[in-house]
Structure 1
Amino acid sequence: MPAPWADAGSAPYNNITETDPMISDPENFDFRLKADSPAKGYGCETFYIPEGTKCKEEIIYSSKLTGGNISIGARIIENTIVKADTVNIYENIVIENNAALNILPGTVMLFHGPYNITVEGTLIAEGTAEERVIFTSFEPDPYNDFTSNKSSWRGIIFDKTLSTNDSSIFRYCVFEYAKSISEAMDRPSDYSGGAMFFNNFAKIKIENCIFRYNTAIYGAAISLFNNSNLSINNSLFYENYAKNNGSVLCVINSSPFIYNNTMTDNKLSAYDGNYQPGAIFTFRSKPFLANNIIRRSHTYASPQVHYAKPQFTFSNNIGGITGYNGNIDDDPAFLGSQIFPGILSEDSPCIDNGGEFDLEQPQFDLIGNPRVSNGTIDMGAFEFQPENSISSVPEKIQMLQIYPNPANPSARITFQAKEASKAEILIYDTSGKLACKFTYANAVKGSNSYDLRSEKLSAGLYVIKVVTPGLISQGKLLLLK
């Protein structure tokens, strides 16, 4: 039945209209039709594309996108808000000049292949300590493998983004399993900056973020080229992997502000012999470094910050740097949390040892505790909390209940949670490699169950770890096929 309000000028299409559909409250993501909507009752049961019809190669998105699982790709041409459990990405995304993409808390940006986000306009991803925005790969390649990038995503790229655009902000985000390892080296973003690449753009704030399991030839987590004088603060970098220089950052012709970060257990695969590599590699740059902890990152030369300039380096705990401006080179005495490395124990020399600088600090640290708890800021991304008051640090490990065990093809995992929260389910093979992971979004206080399907796992023995705030449950599962 043709819609009586159909636009006569829409031929050869059928039943197309530009009439207001009268949606209930789209500003608050309520997309139900009102009772008197002209769209009610005029849908069709089947939509098909006639044989021989050529479809558009890209989809252009604007306005608001919401749902449990949605897919986006191609070009963002207008200001767009995304709120979803999972956003599936099957192609490169370009945010056009003067357009903005705003990703709301709790959204997982899931890349199904080696795709990237190129920002010509503005990208805002602001999570919370409880609901982070996560950028990750669906089936990542091993992050320490430089021979293949078939499925790991390829990072977020700001390459000569115009300064007329609004500032981009990344707060309480997780960046993981990104790769930039092209040996062709046609463009710097192809081989430098696994998770993020910046060229000649400074209107960026990166705060309270986590960078882990990212890979690049130079600058495994982030690369800054040519006046990318942005701010990176209160963030955690661990288990990132560079082939040559900069197991965390590569800074070329730039003067960024890098403060109150923790960089630990990052690695280099090789050393090209040209420069001292370090966790932070610099060339013709003057990064301002303050209150950072940069330790335990494998390097072929000391210090772990290549060519740190004394006039810009204050109150850090950096391997190989000591003796001036409050810098120390001491064991930071991390607590050893199995959720986040780098949390300070009560014996840490980094407590109350940060410097006072005219720098913008967040109200809360990476896990939601007050950023200054005793009058003086601590070094690193985590503020020490007296009397073990950090709610996000696991207090103990419990045994995980798994039934049946051995199992084929599924098993029920029963675990405890101290509070209503998300639970991260991690599955490791016997070599310690992460085989897969899941997020249980609605864990309740007390007992919870999760039905694990094993289609993507081969037969063998696995270690399963369930992480919730303040508690870790762990057990072994034998899969039969």
Structure 2
Amino acid sequence: MKRMLLVLSFSIISFTATAQIDYGNDIQPIFTSNCNSCHSAGQNSFNSSSYSAVMASTSPSSTYDSKHVIPNNAQGSPLVDKIEESPEFGDRMPQGGQLSTDEIDKIKQWINEGAHEEVQTSNEIESDYPDKFELLGNYPNPFNPSTVVQFRSPVSTEFRITVYNANGQQVNSLTGRTVIGENDFTVNLSDQPSGVYFYRIRATSNVSNSFIGSGKMTLIK
């Protein structure tokens, strides 16, 4: 599945921030109900039986070769890749079903908040919650065939991005959802020729559809 996102900094529009995620009340019940039958007591590289087990779980070198949970980086965490559509390695988890969008969003938000065991105080989370959308950059650029875009988001909201070639022809359009904190998305243009591409992006709440910004990237094959 191709995922794209390019973002410019912009003023916050009327969104309601999501409450901080509590591991014990919000995350462990998801693991207990959906994962523990296959991922507890060390049967697999991911152990979902407790907070300490989750944080210690490490994928083998033959796959992701990293901790399953990377604090403050949901999109880079193998756990998130495995519960979303079309994981990089193996089948989507949990086997025989899938988590709801709300459950996946909670796990991603929890990771982007720092993957803490307990809810942080206002002083502790002050630096974790951005107060505006902030573009951190994309790398590499020029690229072939993909580039990673990083940005920080103060809210969890839907977005739509449309990509055009230099002739103004639309070459791709997709929707997605941001999470609070740092977001990493991959732009893959492997099916397009070398050249300069332009994008437009809109953020969508329940009551509005607001133009965010536009930019360009260069594909060199």
Q: Same fold (TM over 0.5)?
A: no
Structure number with higher relative contact order (C-alpha < 8 Å, ≥ 6 residues apart): 2
Higher helix proportion, which one? Answer: 2
TM-score (structure 1 length as normaliser): 0.17
Radius of gyration: which is bigger?
Answer: 1
Higher strand proportion, which one? Answer: 1
